[in-house]
Amino acid sequence: MPEAAVDLHRLIWSPDDFDGDTLTTSAFPKNDLMGGERYLSVSRTDILNADAELRTASGQGASGSANVVRDEAMSVILNSGDVCAAKDDKGVQPFDVTAEPKPNENEAHCGIRNSTETQSRGYVNQLRAILVGLASQPQKLDDFLSIRHFELISNDFLALSSTVTIMAPQ
């Protein structure tokens, strides 16, 4: 399970999952929230592979979805700790986040699972409502990846600069 501080990237590649600019609950498929072996696919951002996300976005288009345009793929972020700490109306924490790495494809792949025994229609509606409430403001996948790339470079620079001692000339 990813640490609580880890953010999870949910790729929303279908523009139909947005009503205007607003994320709809249909972005979180009911079948993926029924528990058992099913889960909602996400990627942990701390080891996220940009190429894997782009491949996924493009691959969905090739899998029979006529209207998928990679440029329209969107990103939302859910914090792993927030997801696991969320409670349903009975005070139960319904979600687990599990690592589901795909070797040589997407090591960052994780799943948000309905860890309860409850699979009723109304309960799944509740889970979707919780997830929409936890999701960040959507942004374009390309923008998300660009910003993340910049942050990684900045972090590398900061890490490097903290280890370098500039010697004053004698």
Q: Which residues bind another protein (CB under 8 A)?
A: 14, 16-17, 19-20, 22-27, 29-31, 60, 63-67, 89, 120-126, 128-130, 132-133
Q: How far is the CB of 60 from another protein (least distance, A)?
A: 6
Tell me the C-alpha distance between 37 and 170, whole Å.
67
Burial class (CB in 10 A: 0-12, 13-18, 19+), 132: middle
Residue number with CB closer to another protein (20 or 169): 20
Q: How far is the CB of 32 from another protein (least distance, A)?
A: 9
Residue 44 contacts residue 7 (beta carbons within 8 Å): yes
Residue number with CB closer to another protein (16 or 46): 16
Residue number with CB closer to another protein (84 or 86): 86
Tell me the C-alpha distance between 145 and 57, whole Å.
13
Residue number with CB closer to another protein (38 or 148): 38
Structure token digits, residue 167: 């010697």
For residue 102, which of 44, 37, 33 has the smallest C-alpha distance?
44
Q: Please tell me what DSSP assigns to residue 3.
A: -
Residue number with CB closer to another protein (49 or 60): 60
The CA-based dihedral angle spanning residues 20, 24, 27, 30, taken in that order and rounded to the nearest 10 degrees = -150
Structure token digits, residue 145: 């990846």
Q: How far is the CB of 30 from another protein (least distance, A)?
A: 6
Q: How far is the CB of 119 from another protein (least distance, A)?
A: 10
Q: How far is the CB of 5 from another protein (least distance, A)?
A: 25
